[in-house]
Chains A and B, each alone.
Chain A
Amino acid sequence: MISIYEVLETNDMIEKENLDVRTITLGISLLECIDSDLGRLNEKIYNRITTVAKDLVPTGKAIEKEFGIPVVNKRISVTPVSLLGAAACKTPEDFVTIAQTLDNAAKAAGVNFIGGYSALVSKGMTWSDELMIRSIPKALATTNYVCSSVNLGSTKTGLNMDAVKLMGGIVLDTAKETADRDSIGCAKLVVFCNAPDDNPFMAGAFHGVTEADAVINVGVSGPGVMRKALESVHGTDFGTLCEKVKKTAFKITRVGQLVAREASKRMNIPFGIIDLSLAPTPAVGDSIADIFEEMGLERAGAPGTTAALALLNDQVKKGGVMASSYVGGLSGAFIPVSEDQGMINAVEDGALSLEKLEAMTCVCSVGLDMIAIPGDTKPSTISGIIADEMAIGMVNQKTTAARLIPVIGKGVGETVEFGGLLGHAPVMPVNQFDCSSFINRGGRIPAPIHSFKN
């Protein structure tokens, strides 16, 4: 039988160390909604989402109450919109109407975000893919809940450099369209290499075409719990440290697994995967950077940070896979700057640069995340940063992403405030040397040699 100390440990994690289930994300296939008539397409999309997702928020709240664990976000991901709109959309404006439909459906379902305003162009872009990508700035400026992602490359296909070039401009245009709100549109836009089909986390969630009609994916969290647990092994060797990370990741993931199974049972929708990510929030103590400090680094970004992150990422996975039979999504440790108070402090203290963050993305679960850069950064420079990040993912056979926010009207040293879970961020300096001749070459970077495993 459970002991009082085990009960107190769990409740301390929830009450004092910010343990929560970060998101229940309901993936919904919208392939059945495809229609050559734009009006009918929008109507079908709205009806399907609001029907399938009608119980999502009440179920999340009921689970929260019964188990006493916060389920912070309830979200929806849908089939990439570039596929849905291919038959009906003739202009970027046509695609914007789909974004508005998604926004209305998300509002009606009561969710925090809806993901899937996406295009998968890792090898080439169709005409409709390009129309959809060109609609992103307007779509994100005229909606509140819609998140957008574009997959620009993979280990199997190489990098679509035409799309990388296009996205540099799209990121900047998205920033301009939302310039009056500190360019917040870019916080809802992410580019990927090796994007997973079952990611429950925003802004990159979409419901892949390899998935069933509907599926429940759950993202767990818990940097605060991890930091607290590591206090008890202060100054010990790496073997002891790793053991502690694994055990703690196991406990966190088991809670996610329980919530996922309950949600799946109550909604009668199959359980997909648990995403084992340590996802920080701006709350004090709920920080990946604080874990590094507990491990013995003065600040995130100090020499040793990449090794610390590699260790953390790997042990989280090793502990987590024991706790759930189905893991997927991004899984590992997120290193967003704006959403992590410890990372913000590290940037403000001069300990953490964009280049160090790039190095860290070789061993973290995703990539350059929520990084504010000067609003006058050239589109080709943004494309260059994206290309570097995508290359890391392609060669290392891992997911990488870039969510960069060129803050219009702001420069290095200024701060941008997004509010809520998105937090605030200091604007970081970008290398000023030019890469436009490289980006303008166009075409594809071929897949690396180790992709040929057949």
Chain B
Amino acid sequence: MKKTVVTVVGRDSVGIIAKVCTYLANNSVNILDISQTIVDGFFNMMMIVDVAGFSKDFTTLSHELEQIGEEMGCIIKAQREDIFDKMHRI
């Protein structure tokens, strides 16, 4: 299992989660956990996903999610979970 963290930051609008989830489902990416919060008036969502079934490379995933973000007026990033795990867990 290769865990990846997808974050969405931007102004709240209808259909953000739906759009991201549709993309992930169409590409066989399984969502393991999802949470959201509002910080300084901005919508923040985080998903932990498993990209083991994703057939394209990581750069493509990252790029395509970025593009969806641009269309929706928010910033979407995909990062390997290790960076957060290493920083916050001993």
Q: Which residues of A contact B (CB under 8 A)?
A: 1-11, 62, 65-69, 251, 254-255, 257-258
Besides A67-B80, A255-B87, 4 other CB < 8 A contacts?
A2-B85, A5-B37, A7-B46, A65-B62
A4 adjacent to B83 (CB under 8 Å):
no
Distance (whole angstroms) from the CB of A258 to the closest CB of chain B? 5
Distance (whole angstroms) from the CB of A39 to the closest CB of chain B? 41
CB neighbours of B80 from chain A (8 A): 66-67
B33 adjacent to A1 (CB under 8 Å):
yes
Distance (whole angstroms) from the CB of B7 to the closest CB of chain A? 6
Distance (whole angstroms) from the CB of A30 to the closest CB of chain B? 33
A2 and B58 in contact, given A7-B5, A7-B46, A8-B39 (Cβ under 8 angstroms): no
For the residues of A in contact with B, the DSSP-based class is helix
B35 adjacent to A255 (CB under 8 Å):
no
Distance (whole angstroms) from the CB of B24 to the closest CB of chain A? 17
A6 adjacent to B84 (CB under 8 Å):
yes
CB neighbours of A69 from chain B (8 A): 83
CB neighbours of A67 from chain B (8 A): 79-80, 82-83
A322 (CB) vs chain B CBs: closest residue: B90
CB neighbours of B39 from chain A (8 A): 8
A11 contact from B58, B77, B81, Cβ within 8 A: B77
Determine whether B59 belongs to the interface, using a CB cutoff of 8 Å to chain A. Answer: yes
For the residues of B in contact with A, the DSSP-based class is strand
- Roughly how many angstroms separate A8 CA and B79 CA in the complex, as a whole number? 12
B59 adjacent to A2 (CB under 8 Å):
no
A8 (CB) vs chain B CBs: closest residue: B44
A10 contact from B35, B37, B84, Cβ within 8 A: B84
- Roughly how many angstroms separate A67 CA and B45 CA in the complex, as a whole number? 18
Q: Which residues 58-89 in B have Cβ within 8 Å of A in the complex?
A: 58-59, 62, 77-88
B75 (CB) vs chain A CBs: closest residue: A15
- Roughly how many angstroms separate A66 CA and B60 CA in the complex, as a whole number? 10
A255 and B37 in contact, given A6-B88, A7-B5 (Cβ under 8 angstroms): no
A258 (CB) vs chain B CBs: closest residue: B86
A1 adjacent to B48 (CB under 8 Å):
yes
Determine whether B36 belongs to the interface, using a CB cutoff of 8 Å to chain A. Answer: yes
B89 (CB) vs chain A CBs: closest residue: A2
Instruction: Tell me which of A7, A68, A257 has the highest count of chain B C-beta atoms within 10 A of its own C-beta.
Output: A7
Distance (whole angstroms) from the CB of A2 to the closest CB of chain B? 5
4 smallest A-B Cβ distances: which pairs?
A68-B79, A4-B46, A67-B83, A254-B86
Q: Which residues of B contact A (CB under 8 A)?
A: 5, 7, 32-33, 35-37, 39, 44-46, 48, 58-59, 62, 77-88
List 7 contacting pairs A-B, 8 Å CB cutoff, sorted by A. Answer: A2-B84, A4-B35, A4-B37, A4-B44, A65-B59, A67-B79, A251-B88
A62 adjacent to B59 (CB under 8 Å):
yes
CB neighbours of A6 from chain B (8 A): 84, 87-88
CB neighbours of A2 from chain B (8 A): 5, 48, 81, 84-85, 88
- Roughly how many angstroms separate A87 CA and B67 CA in the complex, as a whole number? 57
Instruction: Tell me which of B78, B82, B83, B86 has the highest count of chain A C-beta atoms within 10 A of its own C-beta.
Output: B83
A65 contact from B44, B58, B81, B84, Cβ within 8 A: B58
CB neighbours of B85 from chain A (8 A): 2
CB neighbours of A4 from chain B (8 A): 35-37, 44-46
- Roughly how many angstroms separate A68 CA and B77 CA in the complex, as a whole number? 8
A258 adjacent to B88 (CB under 8 Å):
no
- Roughly how many angstroms separate A256 CA and B7 CA in the complex, as a whole number? 22
CB neighbours of B87 from chain A (8 A): 6, 10, 251, 254-255
Distance (whole angstroms) from the CB of B59 to the closest CB of chain A? 6
CB neighbours of B58 from chain A (8 A): 65-66
B79 adjacent to A66 (CB under 8 Å):
yes
Distance (whole angstroms) from the CB of A353 to the closest CB of chain B? 38
- Roughly how many angstroms separate A383 CA and B45 CA in the complex, as a whole number? 58
B7 adjacent to A7 (CB under 8 Å):
yes
CB neighbours of A65 from chain B (8 A): 58-59, 62
B83 contact from A3, A8, A255, Cβ within 8 A: A255
A11 adjacent to B7 (CB under 8 Å):
yes
A254 (CB) vs chain B CBs: closest residue: B86
CB neighbours of B7 from chain A (8 A): 7-8, 11
CB neighbours of A254 from chain B (8 A): 86-87
Instruction: Tell me which of A1, A9, A62, A257 has the highest count of chain B C-beta atoms within 10 A of its own C-beta.
Output: A1
A61 (CB) vs chain B CBs: closest residue: B59
CB neighbours of B33 from chain A (8 A): 1
Distance (whole angstroms) from the CB of B45 to the closest CB of chain A? 8
Instruction: Tell me which of B48, B62, B79, B84 has the highest count of chain A C-beta atoms within 10 A of its own C-beta.
Output: B84
- Roughly how many angstroms separate A225 CA and B59 CA in the complex, as a whole number? 27
- Roughly how many angstroms separate A251 CA and B81 CA in the complex, as a whole number? 15
